[in-house]
Structure 1
Amino acid sequence: MRFSIVGISHWKSGVSIRELFYLDKQRRERLDHYTRTIPGGVLVLDTCNRTEVYGFCEPEVLVKALCQSTNTDPDYLHKHGYILTDDDAIRHIYKVGLGMDSQVLGDVQIIQQLKKAYKEANKANLAGEFHQLVQSVFRAHKRSRNETDFGKGNASVGYEATKQAIEFFGDLSDINILLIGAGKMGKVSCKNLVSNGAQHISVINRSINRAKNLASSFDIKAYSFEELEGKVKEADLIITATGATDPILKAGHFEGKSSQTMVIDLSVPRNVEQSVEELENVTLIDMDSITEVNQKAIEKRERALPLLEGIIEEEVNDYKDRIHRSHFLLPRIKEIDNRLQSITDDELDKVRNKMDSEAFDELELVTKRIKKKIMAIHINRLDEEYKRVKDEV
């Protein structure tokens, strides 16, 4: 069965288009409904820079499910997204998992996002072939970090946000910073800001308890969402990183504010109303604006790319070999196992009523051990047979 991916990402589409395919809770529930009959299950990777659906099925099945879930036209996805099948799709998931397809080359967050997506997909009982593919991607990622310099150096969206702020303000120690959102991106941004000298940071989150947890971790101040308007007025730098589906910051929040303000929107869908960009005293940076990163780290990672291509090639070949081996061995093993089971059941039935229960139970255990050893011999023989067939091809 062919492996397919349908998706949309930062490489081909801006944030205004990507946010149309953003999967909030309701849309994700619809997607789960529309994909529930796909054999082997699906894996859904939804981040600020991409929405991708993976499955062992024809690609149009995934296109239809994604577009139905997000109320978008399939032609629109065909125009702005991408459809990959078979080898192209297999190599794509490796590149995504290793961070080779990320906006920031070698992004350290993507593998955790893929693991989370895999864990979620696992609840729906993914097929064995799916498991083998994703586990192979995880092995390739581990090798990329252990065998190359691809994971070395600071290069991430959170780091780049801090870099942009440093370039704008020069010194972060005296500015008032407002962080909207206490999720993973908010934590990463806060850590980078603190490590670069920021001393006056406030965090606002719809859940005040979550804001307080983040505040206690970094010794910053937490405020309720009702205090947003006042805190915007006080802030020199605002970083938004929430999962809100509608804009949180609007032009009206900046009325009467004369000082220069930098706003960095790290969210998809965008947390900042587009009209904010037109305000004279506001500098707005969104995910599409974050393209420059730590150049030394990127150059080092770029030099490692040929090594990563080699790792992917080895892991893809190993994955395919495992699948071919399974397809060759499993039907034969099942046939032998059924025949052995039938023989042992027949023989045990002949003596079942001639022995006391304790003696019969012992005989049954011995029979199972003998059967297991016979199966091991046949599996070794079939494995050798598979190697001969593979060498002849």
Structure 2
Amino acid sequence: MMTTEALPVTLHDVVRAQELLDGVITVTPIEKSRALSRMVGGDVVFKCENLQRAGSFKVRGAYVRMARLSDEEKARGVVAASAGNHAQGVASAAKALGIKARIYMPLGVALPKLAATRDHGAEVVLHGHNVDEALAEAQRYADASGAVFVHPFDNVDVVAGQGTIGLEILEQVPDVDTIVMGVGGGGLLAGVSVAIKERARQLGREIRVIGVQAENAAAYPPSLAADALVPLKKVSTMADGIAVGRPGQLPFSIIRELVDDVVTVSEDALARALIFLLERAKLVVEPAGAVGVAALMEGRIENPGKVAVILSGGNIDPMLMLKVIQRGLYAAGRFLTVRILLDDRPGSLATISRIIAEHDANVTGVDHTRVGGSISMGDVSITVDLETKGHEHSEVVLNALRAEGFQPIVVHF
């Protein structure tokens, strides 16, 4: 394994960043997950950066970057771009350091993230339809105004600041075997891998570091395969915190040398992970912060041993949470929507309701339609939303309807 001394960010850089952050950030807690441990056959703990100041790990790198500016640079102010977490991290750090901050955020950014960034005292400018467009505009403003551009991941101080999470994990869980986290541009994964791999080498042991991406925003797997940055043509995921179409050059140079693997998870897996964290861990985590949990639940990480999952952020828009919960419940088989075409005669709906009730499912909505492209004269289409107890229970209800002569068409399962 390559020593970190040959890389652009070293263990020494991470240790110095930790010293700079002492008393500034929260040393976030470790929480054991018995439920997920049973599921994966190993010990699972959560590193709860969702409980960090400003709601995510981003304040670490932002503060380290900005604290090291000269007085002349601080006087010029800083500019950044983000969908939310880096924005809040920069705004929070700027307030603590007395620096003027201008933040570019994409149009349509979640209102709670927008409000929180402004509450920290930053000037917010809405621009572009994604983070990459906001980043480009922020760089243009920096070039024109002289403000210092604080990149969310492609900077040595930012990477070193994020790497302090790795040092904390080793102090809190010294016997950890695997560390899992989400990856967008790569600053967190790069920083943690520097801290972990060099410490592990000094201790004479192996600790795996694994990144996780949403499958519709996964630029790292093709980039690692090509050993070159491969930008994505399109990024589409609920995990806006890691919706980055092009890896950072500096993080990539570290990740390709140190990281053991980068895996991907589906949107349904993400939704199920968020439901799990809410129900079983009592933790509010945004989709980007839950990708590591999704990877474990989906069996994407083999032989994890004692694994620490970094829950990187908890800044989630309540409206998005509502949609994610609904999707997660459907994905887990706890909601079922069926459409049934039948003769329009009295008693049909009552019979369907009786079958559903007898099999311990709960009706949450009914749509009764006599007109439509596929409905013949004398027929009626009934769409029923059901609350069920999982995929097996849903199949029981469907089979019971079929046994009575109905032909239910599953709309959502």
TM-score, normalized by length of structure 2? 0.28
Higher helix share: 1
TM-score, normalized by length of structure 1? 0.29
Higher strand share: 2
